[in-house]
Structures are given as C-alpha cells and as structure tokens.
A and B are shown apart, each in its own frame.
Chain A
Amino acid sequence: MADDEGTEFKLQANSELRFEVEAKASVEIEMLDGRAEMFGTELAKNKKYSFVSGSKVAIFTWHGCTLQLKGKTEVAYISKETPMTVYVNTHAAMEQMRAKAEAENTRGPRILVVGPTDVGKSTLCRILVNYAVRLGRSPVFADIDVGQGNMGLPGTIGALVVERTADVEEGFQQTAPLVFHYGHKSANDNFQLYNMLVSRLAEIINVRCEQSKKVNCSGVIINTAGWIRGAGYEALKQAAGAFEVDVICVLDQERLYNQLKGDLPDFVKIVLLPKSGGVVERSQATRAESRDGRIREYFYGLKNNFFPHGFDVKFNDIKLFKVGAPSLPESCLPLGMKAQDSQTKLVPLLPSHNLLHHILSVSAATTVDQDIVETNVLGFIVVTGVDMDKSLFTVLSPSPRPLPRNILLVMDIQFMDIK
C-alpha cells in the first residue's frame, strides 16, 4: 500500500495515524514537521523509527504534524475520533491526586485498569505511565496479565518503577523489574497461586513505596488480563483488595462496571472509559504468536541485537522445582485429615526429558529455606537439550555462564528456538 519512497500523511490537531505492519515486513516512520506522540511517548523530529512485522501502531498529535511512512502496511489511515481527550482527563485527575499526596505526604493514587480482551488496556496503561513520567513522576507500573507477558515473560507477573518514558520501538526499559514466577499461560490454571503472587507483588510494592517519597506519591498503575468472568472476576476483586486501589478504570464493558460498582465499597472510584477505535481484535493464533514473539524478544532482542549464550548445565549444580501439585479431594482422604494447600506447594523435580523446550525461571533465592514460591526471579533460560547419560542439559541463557543462581523453577510454557 506504500511504495519505496514512502507516503506522507498530514495530520490535523487531535487526530491520529493508525497502521498495522504486514507480516514479515517492516515499516519506517519519520516525523517531518509538528509534534506527535506514540502511546504517550514523544517522537523526535526527523528521526526514523522502525516497527517490526505484526505491530499495531497509532501515532497521535495534539497540534498537527506531517509523517512519512515507508514499508508495507496492512492498513494505514487517519482517524479524527479518538478518546484521547478522555484519557488525558483521566491522567489529569490522577495527577491532581498525586499533587495532593505530595503535599500531604500520603500515598499516591493507585489505578487498576480492567476490561475484556482487546480493548487497549495495555495501551491505556502505557499512556498514563508515560504522561506521569513526563511530568517528572516515578510511578510503579505493575502488570498482572500472565498471558501476554509484557513485563518479563508470559507466565509471570511483575512490576517496574518507571523513570523514563517507554521507548517507541522497544517499550519500557526492563533492567530491574520485580518479576514473580507463575508458570502458566492463564490465571485459570492455578488460581490460588495467582492470587497469592498478586498479594505478594502488592506487598513488595508497598515496601518500595515506603522507601522513597517520590515513588510513594507517584502511585501505581496496574494492568490486568482480559479474563473477567467467573473466577477471573474474583481475581480482579482480590487484586483490587491486595493493591488497595483508589480508582478502577473499566474499559468498554458496562456489565463489568456495574458488577464492580455493586461489589466494591464506595471509596473506590470506578469509572467506565471508552476504548479507542484503533484497537484491533486479535485471534487466538495471533495471541499465541505474540507470546512466542515476546519470548523470542527476551532472548534475541527486538531487532535481533542480543546474542544469548548456550551452555551446558550439570544436573548436580542446580535444583529444580515446580509450583503446584495435583490435589486430592478431601473426600478421598481418611477421616480427620485435611488436604493441604497443594496448589501453591513447591515440588522438587528430577531432571528428565520432559523438561525439553520448557522455560525455566532463575529464582533470586539463594537457599532452599527461603520461601521460593514468593521470591522473585532474576531471569529466564530455555532448555534446549537434555542428555541423561552425561547428566546435563543445554540451555539458552541471556548472559554467559555461570548461572547467577542455582535454584530453577519450571514453567508450563515451551519455546522452540528456530532460527
């Protein structure tokens, strides 16, 4: 749809350019004139930004600008109807709360963004965080969406203190996030563990906020998963309670809005916000692909600029665990005995061929005595080969040997390293 010289788009004030990059192609954007931003991050003039295949991008301008687009896009159009004014108002309200918190030396506002799948929750969170950072705040961005893994990898939840706006191409810089190992693609798989980890995340964030006044009054922005029915709804309520949120933004679902309004106490402000027209619904296949892409990005970098290391690890050097054991129903147990909380139990594992292609989290715990389930992880490795005769396995790791810790947690998620 665009040829080699590129197409020029002239945008008026309060409009945005939306485009999707075709599969196996890349697109380059350059801002020639005016001022524009992408999901809250300002674009620099005359700088070329490239987007990988499959990206869905919207570049918004408050004043008007000229953009040049080079490359193959599935769609590229300008839209004048965006909910950005609504989002900016939300940000302004939050900023007011922050100013008050700063003045009174109290805790900053905590906002939970909820909604069904594909409404733009992650984007809204990104915009809010970026705007806060541009005003000099240091908000904490927490992501409890286990499926997509924008923070860490799919199968983890995490939080990050943000001090710089997200990079246009690469997103938030994740050098020191707080990441907890969950191990499954969906919160449904181990509900108890999920709730436990969310509470733990909230707890640690509270401690962090206590340590720095700046972080404390900047507040927390929490992104959730799109699972909002049944047990997912319970998980939302628990997350709201664990983080002690002040505001809940419901995107585009009146039903959820009414439910939350009925169930949560009055001091929690619940608002319904519109979703953007540029939001694209993803199929299951696309979601799975984006998960895979996220894992690949972790190891190889967005533009294949990281070089992960492959080396051998002996079985004796490491300790393997997984969280969650199959539980016996209480009716099967002898009278008088109670079933323990097996869903959050730490189960040691023997290395075997079952581990092939699974992702392992490297726990920050140094000894087995610590509560490994509730300890954060430092990173991830993939098992690329298992040699039972020599008792070792080959792993792909982001940094050279040796591994920083020797306690590893096994995830349900697998990754095939195809070059």
Chain B
Amino acid sequence: MSFYDLVKDSVLSAQELFKYRLKRETSLPSRGGQKDFQPDGSWIQTKALEAFMQERTSILSEQRVEKLKNLIEGKWDINKRLVNVKKTGKFWTHMGFTDNLRNWLYPEEALFLMEANVLEVYYRDLPLSIQEAYFEFLGPDVSLEEYQVFSHLRRLGFVVLRHESHPVITPYERQINLDKYIKKSQRKERKGKALQKGRKIIQLNGNSQGNSKEPAISSEIINDAIFAQDNLIPAASESNGNVSNSLKKMDTEYNESNGVEESVSFQHPADSVERVNVQPENVSVNTFQKAEKRCTSTVDNKTEISPAKIPRIDNESISLEGNPENAVVSTCGGEFSKGSSENCNSFQSSTNSRFYHDLWADCLQVAAKIHSSSHSELEDTHALEVTAENTQQKQLTSNLETHRDNKASDSSNKVVEPTVPLPNIANRNAVWLVAPDSRLLPSSVELNEEEEESLMFDVEQYRLKYPLKPKNRQMEKEEEREARIASLNFSFAEWTQRRPLVTATNWKDYKQKLAERLREINATTPVDHYWEGDVTPLVRPSDADSYECILKKLSIIQTAEDESLVPEADCVVSVKISYDVHLPDSKFKKSMPGVPNHRVCVTKCNSQPPGLAEIQELWSRFKDDVPIHWAVVDSGEIAFYIFDNSYKSESWT
C-alpha cells in the first residue's frame, strides 16, 4: 500500500483541487440592490429575490480548501484561557505572545484562526468544533461583541492587539527615543508585569459586563438547532481531510442558528453595568451572516451631536466646588433672530446713550503722567508724592490710635465706650456689641439699648446653626498639600524660610521692606554666579516652593486639560478599551508595537453613549492623540463612532 492509497479518500487530487478554484466576476457578493418596501407580487421581483437567495446560499455553502500542512495544531488550556501552539505560522508576526518558552494565542485570535481554516484546537485530545470553540473561548474576558469587532477589523487587514492598559513604554520614553534602547529582556519583564495587572483588570471588567450568560444560551440554542437539522455531521473524530467540509457545514448551521442566537442575546436582561436603552443612529440591521462578511460597514467617523447635549447637564451636576466660577454660560439651543434687533431700531432709547460717561478719563491721564514722569522731577508728581507721604504718616498715627483703642475695648466687656470697636466673632463665644452714637448711624437706624439681648451676638449659637461644611475631597486634598508644602525642609533654610517676619507700621513701609527682602533673597543665593552669563537657569531658587512649582515651570508634567471637568474617580465607570489597532504594515513588530493607530472600545447598541465625564476621564488616561473609536455592535453589524474633541482647543483665528 502506497501512501497515496492510504490517504486517497481524504486528500484531494490535483484535479479536484482545481475544481474548487472557482472564478467569479465580482469578488463581493451583491447586497440586494434597491430596497423594495413591500411585496408587489410581480414576477420580476420574485425572480430578483430568487437570484439573490441563490447567490447567497451558494456562497455560504462554498467549501473552503486549504493546504494540509498549513493547518496548525493548538491546545486549549482552560485554566489560563489561552491556546498553546507549538509550531507557529504566518500569523505569528502579529498575533499571540510567548511566555515561559511556550507560544500562546488569545482566545479571540484562536477563534479567528479557526474560522480562517488555519488552526485546529484540541481540547482533551479531541479537536474542537467551531461551535464548541465559540462556547469555550468567549467568556468573561472576551465577549461576543468584542470578538465580532476583532474579527471584523482583522478581516479588513488591521493588526488588532489587546489593549495595553499599562503601557510598557511610557510616552515620555518614546518622546526622548528611549524605547529603542530598552533591552528585550527588560521589555519582557515589563510586559509580564503589565500583563499580570492587565489580566486582573480584564477579569474584573469582564465580570461586571456579565457576559458569561450568553455563550450558555447560545450553546443551548445551537444544540437544539443542530438536532433539528438533517445534514448533521458529527464534529468529533473527523479525519483531517474532511475537516474542512464538516467545519463548513457546521459553520453554516452555526451561522444560521447564530442569527437566532444573536437576536436572543439582545433580549437578554440588562447588564449589571447601568445603561438604559438608547439607540444610536445609523446602525443598519442586516441579516448578512457574519462569517461571510467581506466589507460591510466602513469605518464611520461621525461626530455624535446628540450625546453632547446630555453631557452639558452632566457637567453641571458633576462640577466640583473648587472653582465655582467655571460654569458654562448657557449657549446651546438659542436661535438668534435678526428681527428682534431690527424692531429695536425703530424705537428711540428712552434713556440716553448708555455707554458709560468717561468721567474717569482725567484720572487716567494723571496716572499716565505719574508713570511717565516717575523718573524725572516734575513738580506735580513730586507734590503728589509728598502729600502721599504725609497722608501715610497721618494714617499711621490714626491707625495706631484706633488700634490701641480697640484693644482696650476688646479686653473689657463694658457696653458704653467712646469708640466703637470692629466686631469680631473669631475665637469667642459671644460678642458684646455697642449701640453706636446716633451721629454714626443714618437716620431711622436705631438700636434698642434697653434690650440687652439685641446687643449680644451669641457666637456659639451661630456656630451651631451653621456648622462647618464637611469638606469635599478636593478641599481636603488641597489642604493636605498646603500642609505638606508648609512642612517642607529646605537646605539653606536659614536663607529662605527662617527669616524674621517683615514688620511694618503702614503699607508703604511694608511694601518697601518686602521688596528689600525679595531683593536680598535673590541677590544672595549660593548659586548667584549662574545668572551672570548669557545662559541662565530656568528656575530661580526662590521659585522652589515644592516639586509641583518646579515641574510646572519646566513644563515636564502636563496637567490634564480642563481640570474642572475631571470627575472624582469613584463616581464614574471607566470606559474599557478593548483593542489597540495598528495599521497593516510589514514593519510591524510584535515585540515593540509602538503607539497604536487607533483604540477601540466595544459597546452594545442598547447601551447608553458615554457621558462627558467618562469621555474626559478617557482622554485624560492617554496623553497621545490616538483616536478612540466606539464600536457599537448590533446583531453582527458594527458601526464605528468617534467623539470630536476639537472643542477642547481654544482657537481664535
């Protein structure tokens, strides 16, 4: 018996192979042409439909033929949820990873390769059928929608990797070109660490998505569907030659039942993750089976206008107390009508011209004169300065007097005093107020002196009524930071910090002394000589209040833009990015993929679009300009959306 005799049943001969090489005029099957809205019973319509159906069934029933030696063997490891391959093929350049001297493939990659007739996965020494593979591989870590997006993008040619939430190489390292110099061993180390972190997160996220139910449902339905079918071919124990046939048949049935499965899965109760039913526009429902999709929905870069309206309300409710003046002046929705202003034209304004009278013009002129002649010795400025000094002196004496008086009255609690002190409720339990002289009060403002109560302000009661507001986290953080900065230890402390406080008796004095102090500090640093030449340091020692100040000055660490919009971490569900997509490029290196060209986040069509808080949090996660696509999956149809973030940049012209 020759080798040929042994295998002649399973291996196809050259003639047979040729048979399978069908030539087709068009590479893409037709999508149906113009839509008919109702059956009108015409012969031409039925004929067109028939032809369409025939073309479909022929394509679906097509048998895919592949070289035997191209079939790679893999083993499914259920604990790790990965497929182990010994020999790797052409796909290895952009799929899978190596770990502990073994080659592994992710479940979605393995599933894709199985459907592409390249991989055969064994589990418990038996090869898995496609339906079993779907059941096994898709689980909490990879949902059905994620797999659909993955396979769609792969078929288009992109290189799709799992999202690297903890970048192995930081953007800073990339910026300074350090990534080329990191040794391979170091990179692997980092990657291992990142993977460990990443896997935990994926599991957590995956659980919250609650996808584990779906494959269970799918397998039940498939089993039912299969038993109902006539052309049942047992999946297991097929010899390799007919694997393709059986797989093909299984595919067909699976896909047909898939349609059922998909429609069921969307009646599935809502996930544990919040979202309410909102249908985004432009998701066309098409029953074209996903296994045979060639080029369906193109990558749509549409800016979502409707969700933007919702986030405006979110913004206000999420806003922080730190900077209260950051609210958006309402601008949405208003339509300006020229008519209203034209009506105004016909009326004369009842008041005079309401531009301000420029009564301050002369003051400005005087101020300008003071500036321009501050160096020369003009009489008027001199006179002004002299009078200013005089007033200051007098002010100084009067201040001292009142200060002394106040001190005297504060210490005693007598009611009637010649001078009225400024009331102060700090550090006191009650404040006794004085009924001021009637000369000091405007007419009809009178305090009843008889009632002692009206003259006493009960500070304790006030404090009880208005207790201190519980500080929100931002304020607490700020206070902590201030306390930290205050407790910093500086070298040369005697020169920066431990100087006696500037004391003065009036403002002019105070300002002079402060200026002198500043000059002293700047002039007598130990590193003065650096400023002597042309090239000076970027940071002055007097600027060094904290790490943040210095880094800000050097602009190394960039703060998140629009900080008021960054929400507190515990109130926002962070968006899970599923994949990093790279362009199909022969120069792509799996060991060092670089910055992805796109990032994809997979959502279902019945989940709510992300709010402004989530989008902002997402953007602040990544400092690079990589666009983030939302892939909305609806029964196998995928639509891609991008949020337009150009509003962030303020551009005038």
Interchain CB contact (< 8 A) of A83 among B361, B434, B457 = B457
Partner of A292, one of B322, B329, B341, B398: B329
Asked if A176 lies at the interface with its beta carbon under 8 angstroms from chain B, I say: yes
Q: Kindly list the 8 A-B residue pairs having the minimum CB-CB distance in the complex, ordered from nearest.
A: A310-B341, A329-B555, A92-B436, A134-B442, A416-B334, A399-B353, A186-B325, A379-B355
Task: Please determine whether B444 and A35 come into contact, CB atoms closer than 8 angstroms.
Answer: yes
User: How many residues of chain B get a CB closer than 8 Å to chain A's CBs?
Assistant: 106
Do A104 and B367 touch (CB < 8 A)?
no
Please report which residues of chain B, range 354-409, place their CB below 8 angstroms from some CB of chain A when the two chains form the complex: 354-364, 366-367, 370, 384, 387, 391, 394-396, 398-399, 401-403, 406
Within 8 A of B (CB), among A37-96: 37, 42, 62-63, 83, 85-86, 88-93, 95-96
B454's closest neighbor in chain A, by CB? Answer: A14
* B341–A417 CB distance below 8 A: yes
Which residue of A has the minimal Cβ distance to B344?
A307
Would you give the 0/1 interface string for A256-277, flagging 1 where the beta carbon is closer than 8 Å to chain B? 0110000001110101111101
With A101-B398, A288-B330 already in contact, 5 other A-B pairs whose C-beta atoms are closer than 8 Å: A85-B433, A131-B442, A225-B325, A357-B336, A379-B354
Question: In chain A, residues 382-402, which have Cβ atoms closer than 8 Å to a Cβ of chain B?
Answer: 384-385, 394, 396, 398-400
Within A238-261, the residues touching B (CB, 8 Å) are 241, 244, 246-247, 252, 254, 257-258
| Cα distance, A394 to B426, chains bound together (Å) | 54
Tell me if A368 is interfacial: C-beta within 8 Å of chain B.
no
Are the CB atoms of A308 and B341 closer together than 8 Å? yes
Q: Is B441 an interface residue (CB 8 A)?
A: yes
Q: Quick one: closest A residue to B555, CB to CB?
A: A329
Distance, CA A97 to CA B403, complexed state (A): 11
Contact of A85 among B384, B455, B535 (CB under 8 A): B455
- Say yes or no: is A1 at the interface (Cβ < 8 Å to chain B): no
Chain A proximity mask over B333-359: 1 for CB below 8 Å, otherwise 0: 011111011101101111111111111
Question: Does A169 count as interface, using CB distance less than 8 angstroms?
Answer: no
List B residues 395-442 near A (Cβ within 8 Å): 395-396, 398-399, 401-403, 406, 419-426, 431, 433-434, 436-437, 440-442
Q: Would A379 and B503 count as touching, CB distance under 8 A?
A: no
Residue on A nearest B370 in the bound complex, by CB: A207
Q: Is the CB of B446 within 8 A of A63?
A: yes
Closest-by-CB residue of B relative to A376 is: B360
Question: CA–CA, A374 to B195, complex, Å?
Answer: 58
Among residues of A, the one whose C-beta sits closest to the C-beta of B335 is A418
Given known pairs A307-B349, A375-B364, the reply for A350 and B354 (CB within 8 Å) is no
- CB–CB A399/B347 < 8 A: no
Of A2-10, A17-25, A331-339, which stretch is located at the interface?
Answer: A331-339
Q: Taking the nearest CB of chain A, how far is it from the CB of B14, in angstroms?
A: 68
Q: Are B354 and A398 in contact (CB under 8 A)?
A: yes
A362 beta carbon closer than 8 Å to chain B: yes
Interface segment among B27-35, B506-514, B603-611: the answer is: B506-514
A354 within 8 A of B: yes
**Cα–Cα, bound, A359→B502 (Å):** 44
Bound form: Cα–Cα A252–B357 in Å: 38
Beyond A265-B502, A271-B422, A285-B316, whether A416 also contacts B336 by CB under 8 A is: yes
Q: What are 16 A-B contacts defined by CB distance under 8 Å? A: A62-B445, A86-B433, A207-B367, A211-B363, A227-B323, A246-B395, A274-B462, A284-B319, A284-B326, A307-B344, A330-B553, A350-B653, A384-B336, A400-B349, A416-B336, A418-B336
Asked if B327 CB lies within 8 Å of chain A CBs, one says yes
- Decide if B180 is an interface residue (CB 8 Å cutoff): no
Docked pose: A13 CA to B434 CA in angstroms: 17
**Complex Cα gap A229–B440 (Å):** 36
Query: Which chain B residues have a beta carbon within 8 Å of chain A's beta carbons?
Result: 316, 319, 322-331, 334-338, 340-342, 344-345, 347-364, 366-367, 370, 384, 387, 391, 394-396, 398-399, 401-403, 406, 419-426, 431, 433-434, 436-437, 440-448, 454-455, 457, 459, 462, 465-466, 475, 478, 502-508, 510-511, 534-536, 538, 553-556, 651-653
Complex contact B447–A186 (CB within 8 A) = no
**Chain A nearest CB, measured from B543 CB (Å):** 11
Indicate if A319 sits at the interface (CB-CB under 8 A): no
CA distance A85 to B504 in the complex (A): 33
B324-A117 in contact (CB<8A) = yes
Query: Could you tell me the dominant secondary structure of chain B's interface residues?
Result: loop
CA distance A177 to B652 in the complex (A): 30
- Does B331 contact A414, Cβ atoms closer than 8 Å? yes
Q: Within A352-374, which residues are at the interface with B (CB < 8 Å)?
A: 352, 354, 357, 362, 364
A14, A229, A419: which contacts B478 (Cβ < 8 A)? Answer: A229
Residues in chain B near residue A307, CB distance under 8 A: 344, 347-350
For the complex, give the distance between the alpha carbons of A211 and B538 in Å: 45
Central interface residue in A96, A117, A308, by most chain B CB within 10 Å: A96
Given contacts A185-B325, A227-B325, A269-B403, contact A204 B367 (CB under 8 A): yes
Query: Is A167 located at the chain interface by the 8 A CB criterion?
Result: no
Q: Kindly state the separation between the CA atoms of A385 and B7 in the bound complex, as whole angstroms.
A: 82
Task: Output the nearest chain B residue to A101 by Cβ-Cβ distance.
Answer: B398
Q: For A416, list chain B residues within 8 Å (CB).
A: 330-331, 334, 336
B513 to chain A: closest residue by CB = A265
Closest CB in chain B relative to A175 CB, distance in Å: 6
Cα-based distance from A378 to B354 in the complex (angstroms): 9
B354 and A287 form a contact (CB under 8 A):
no
CB of B323 within 8 A of CB of A89, answer no
Shortest Cβ distance from residue B345 to the other chain A in the assembled complex, whole angstroms: 6
Distance (whole angstroms) from the CB of A33 to the closest CB of chain B: 14
Q: When A105-B394, A310-B345 are in contact, do A364 and B444 touch as well, CB less than 8 Å?
A: no
Partner of A93, one of B421, B448, B651: B421
Residues in A with CB closer than 8 Å to B554 are 329-331
Q: How far is the CA of A287 from the CA of B384 in the complex (A)?
A: 43
- Complex Cα distance, B448 from A258, in Å, reads 33
Contacting residues, chain B, for A417 (C-beta < 8 A): 334, 336, 340-341
Q: Is the CB of B324 within 8 A of A226?
A: yes
Please tell me if the beta carbons of A288 and B328 are within 8 angstroms of each other in the complex: yes
Min CB distance A377 to B, Å, is 8
Q: Is the CB of A267 within 8 A of B506?
A: yes
Minimal Cβ-Cβ distance residue in A for B556: A331
Contact call A331/B335, Cβ cutoff below 8 A: no
Please name the residue on chain B nearest to A370 by beta carbon. Answer: B368
